[in-house]
Amino acid sequence: MRYASPAIERAIERLSRLPGVGRKTAQRLVFHLLRSPQDETEALVQALLELKRKVRYCSVCFNLSEEDPCQICADPQRDRSTICVVEQANDVVAVERTGQYRGLYHVLGGALSPLDGIGPEQLRVAELVRRLEGGTVREVIVATNPNAEGEATAVYLARLLKPLGVRLTRIARGIPVGSDLEYADEATLARALEGRTDL
Amino acid sequence: MRVVTLHLTNYRSWKECGLAFHPQLSIVIGENGSGKTNILDALYLASYGRTLRGRDEDAIRWGERESSVRAIFRSEGGAERAVQVTLGPEGKSMFLGGRRLEGRTELVGLFPLVLSSSDDLDIVRGDPERRRNFLDAVASLLYRGYLDTLREYKRTLRQRNRILLEMALGRGGSMVSALAAWTERLVVLGEALLRKRLRSLEELGPQLSEYYRELVGGGRCAVRYLSRVDVDVDDLRAALEKALAVSAVEERERGMTLVGPHRDDLALEVDGTDLRKFGSRGQARAAALALRLAEAKLVASRGEPPILAVDDAFSDLDDRRAERLLAQTTGFQTILTSAEEARTRELLAARAAHGRVFRIRENQVMEEVLA
Ligand SMILES: Nc1ncnc2c1ncn2[C@@H]1O[C@H](COP(=O)(O)OP(=O)(O)OP(=O)(O)O)[C@@H](O)[C@H]1O
Ligand SMILES: [Mg+2]
Ligand SMILES: [Zn+2]
């Protein structure tokens, strides 16, 4: 069914492009918005616009940030000799939540997955190698997800980075196999970081 | 483990069916199509959280909205627990006691059941995949984490195959540089699978031989692991690496991984004859039964003895073997089905077995007690 108002149609069409949102959900959202006060909707629009305007990738670690370099990279208190490599910006949040880690990060932007056309060039691997060339970094902790893709990525990085003379470690498999870092609870993730082993 | 009662409501052909099983031997007798396998199917659902045949929703009685199976199990120690599985328009829900379960994995293993059906002939005679699946199921009973490793291996294999396919097509680009990493993961996971499969076979083999001999009254039944990987060495990892290296050119031409656990098979032999190709139907059936009995024995060695269910128990077996099957099932609570009433009654009379007969007539179950 189509609505008489093109504005409604347009809003539904736009919203249903979002991941996990079908036409039904989009309709529900649109009618919710129509019923809400004007300033609610304006605040939402404002938030979305700011998202695009302000958030960018940190040019050092590729974490999402409003500053460049990001707060973590700019923090003089952080230990510059350790880099924790993760797949996504969400994983940085997860590791930070443990409160156990004081080093820097590197966000790969995913994991190797030939089925999705993802090879090393689709990830921020070259950028990681460049960060190690300075000689400040002594340990790289590979904290990719404990699933097929994350493990293969860890092995790939180990093979690539070993010759550079840094210590390479992998977080322990305390996290349930096949799950995502993002969903591990703090205590488990802290233990996994603690019990990391050499790659 | 024992199943004390089983109750079916709108499950497959059954509107309503309640059975109180004998602690040792229960025999369900009924004509073809009378619903015998459907009863075992329901028991399987209560134990494994999914139906034996087809999709879960196909088990809802035609024309009904919802179907449910309830079972009461009793452990060796005497503790009774109730399981209920409901299938409906909103899918499946499972309850243990009154508690709703998150998923099948919470249920599997609590009430162990080993079920032998006539489909098991395919383990002996069918594609290698059937034998691999059987062995994987046994290994997953013996080794915690085996299924996780298997799942990751299969995923890693698909990923690696994609690179090989791209290479075969003359593409691949930057993905090719990661091939060695995928290969390393495949080797690590493959080695773990190989090791556990071989250990499982070491335990299964002697049990298989013994049960086969006792069922048939002679004959040496043996099982061997078949692989392009040399599995007779200690360093399985090196062996797997070597086999992959040998097939490296061919796999790049054909665009897939040609050696490893996903390609392996089992040789089942009786007195040196390969049952996969040359066994008689009766031999194959006896071997299939012996495999299941051996599986039951391994399950028992790790915890509770499982419930043993054998569908169409006596088909393809001559009288002597049928009698021997009845003798072999002691040690487990056993539930058998048969479509041959006269023959089954004769067999029972000859063995003077203690147990209970459930006779299906016109969608009703009549219960008889054996002396
Ligand atoms: N969802 C369903 N609803 C109603 N009837 C069903 C359903 N699924 C299967 N059936 C019926 O159940 C019957 C088969 O029952 P079952 O396989 O248990 O028979 P059986 O006693 O094991 O026969 P056999 O001796 O041939 O193995 C078939 O007639 C089939 O039509
Ligand atoms: Mg049947
Ligand atoms: Zn940064």
Cβ(B325)–Cβ(B314) below 8 Å? yes
Same domain, A68 and A26: no
CATH (domain of A40): 1.10.8.420
What's the pLDDT band for B361 if we cut at 50, 70, 90? very high
Per-domain boundaries in chain B:
1-112+305-371
B324 in contact with ligand 1, CB cutoff 6 A? no
Rounded to whole angstroms, the Cα distance separating A94 from A78 reads 17
Tokens of residue A175, six digits: 């996290």
- Per-residue pLDDT, averaged over B104-125, amounts to 92
Phi, psi for residue B247 in degrees, rounded to 5: -95, 10
Same domain, A99 and A27: no
- pLDDT at position A75 is 97
B158: pLDDT strictly greater than 60:
yes
B117 in contact with ligand 1, CB cutoff 6 A? no
B14 in contact with ligand 1, CB cutoff 6 A? no
Using CB atoms and an 8 Å cut-off, which of residues 177-206 of chain B contact chain A? 177-178, 180-182, 184-185
Tokens of residue B23, six digits: 């602690």
- pLDDT at position A197 is 84
Whose tokens are 């347009």? That residue is A10
| Domain coverage including residue A35 | 6-54
pTM: 0.87
Q: Does A113 touch chain B (CB under 8 A)?
A: yes
Same domain, A96 and A178: yes
B333: pLDDT strictly greater than 80:
yes
Range with the largest mean pLDDT of A40-44, B49-53, B196-200? B196-200
Question: At a CB cut-off of 8 Å and minimum separation 6, what does B203 contact?
Answer: B142, B298, B301
Tokens of residue B162, six digits: 């994609």
CA nearest to B44, candidates B54, B30, B32, B33:
B54
Total structural domains within chain A = 2
Same domain, A171 and A76: yes
Rounded to whole angstroms, the Cα distance separating A38 from A43 reads 9
pLDDT averaged over chain B?
A: 94
Cβ(B274)–Cβ(B199) below 8 Å? no
CB A119 to CB B145 under 8 A? no
Distance from CA of A78 to the nearest CA of B (A): 32
CA atoms within 13 A of residue B55's CA, in its CB half-sphere: 4
CA nearest to B93, candidates B118, B61, B64, B68:
B68
Whose tokens are 């790289």? That residue is A140
- Per-residue pLDDT, averaged over B207-229, amounts to 95
B30 in contact with ligand 1, CB cutoff 6 A? yes
Same domain, A70 and A140: yes
Taking CA atoms only, the protein residue closest to ligand 1 atom 9 is: B12
Sort out which chain A residues have CB atoms less than 8 A from B145's CB and list them.
Answer: 177
CA–centroid distance, B33 to ligand 2, in Å, is 7
Sort out which chain A residues have CB atoms less than 8 A from B166's CB and list them.
Answer: 114
Q: In this complex, which of A120, A122, A155 lies closest to B185 when CB atoms are compared?
A: A155
SS3 track for A109-174: CCCCEHHHCECHHHCCHHHHHHHHHCCCCCEEEECCCCCHHHHHHHHHHHHHHHHHCCEEEECCCC
Same domain, A118 and A37: no
CA–centroid distance, B111 to ligand 2, in Å, is 23
Q: Does A198 touch chain B (CB under 8 A)?
A: no
B1-112+305-371 sits in which CATH class? alpha beta
Residues B320-330: tens digit of each pLDDT = 999 999 988 78
C-alpha distances in Å from residue B93, one per residue of B7, B10, B107, B122, B233: 16, 15, 12, 31, 47
Residues A131-164 as b/e (b if ≥16 CB within 10 A, e otherwise) read bbeeeebebbbbbbbbbbbbbbbbbbbbbbbeee
- pLDDT at position A179 is 60
Q: In this complex, which of A114, A153, A177 lies closest to B175 when CB atoms are compared?
A: A114
- pLDDT at position B352 is 67
CA–centroid distance, B43 to ligand 2, in Å, is 14
Tokens of residue A36, six digits: 């809400």
Same domain, A47 and A68: no
CA–centroid distance, B203 to ligand 3, in Å, is 54
Taking CA atoms only, the protein residue closest to ligand 1 atom 13 is: B33
Same domain, A129 and A75: yes
Give chain A's residues under pLDDT 50: none
Rounded to whole angstroms, the Cα distance separating A195 from B261 reads 31
Whose tokens are 């009973």? That residue is B141
Rounded to whole angstroms, the Cα distance separating B307 from B19 reads 15
CA dihedral B311, B315, B316, B317 (to 10 degrees): 100
Q: Which of A68-82, B159-173, B342-356 has the lowest mean pLDDT?
A: B342-356
What is the interface pTM, i.e. ipTM, of the complex? 0.85
Q: Please tell me what DSSP assigns to residue B59.
A: G
Rounded to whole angstroms, the Cα distance separating A126 from A156 reads 12
The best mutation among B8, B11, B38, B64 to test binding of ligand 1, ranked by most ligand atoms within 8 Å of the C-beta, falls on B38
B360: pLDDT strictly greater than 90:
yes
Cβ(B166)–Cβ(B178) below 8 Å? no
Same domain, A150 and A104: yes
**Alpha-carbon dihedral sign for residues B8, B10, B11, B13:** positive
Task: Let me know if residue A112 belongs to a domain.
Answer: yes
**Candidates A149, A160, A179, partner chain B, best to mutate (most B CBs within 10 A):** A149
Same domain, A159 and A185: yes
DSSP lists the bridge partners of residue A60 as none
CATH (domain of A75): 3.40.1360.10
Sort out which chain A residues have CB atoms less than 8 A from B152's CB and list them.
Answer: 147-148, 151, 177-178
Task: Let me know if residue A137 belongs to a domain.
Answer: yes
Same domain, A178 and A87: yes
Same domain, A92 and A184: yes
Radius of gyration of chain A (CA): 21
